Amino acid sequence: MAHTQRHVTIEETELHTWFERDRAHVEVRLRDSQETLIEWWDEAVNEAIEDGFLNPRDYHGSAFEYARYLGLA
């Protein structure tokens, strides 16, 4: 069976973030189904920022673009 790539727009997604003390979470979900497209937890958030995959000024846009790059959106 052939793998079919999704074609999701950023408008069909929503950003969920959570930061508390030493905990961190950045997630992009589909609005309609609440299915997670991509997410990072704790140190992975900092690593993704340092590696340039996540932009703290635009978590939604940068996370969505990275999900598209990986073929998840």
Residue 49: Cβ within 10 Å count: 17
Q: For the chain of 73 residues, list the mean pLDDT of each consecutive stretch of 10.
A: 69 98 97 97 98 98 97 92
Placement of tokens 């991509």 in the chain:
38
Whether the pTM exceeds 0.85: the reply is yes
Distance between CA atoms of residues 72 and 2, nearest Å? 15
Query: Where do the domains of the chain lie?
Result: 10-69
Token digits for 57? 């000024």
Q: Residues 15, 27: contact at Cβ < 8 Å? A: yes
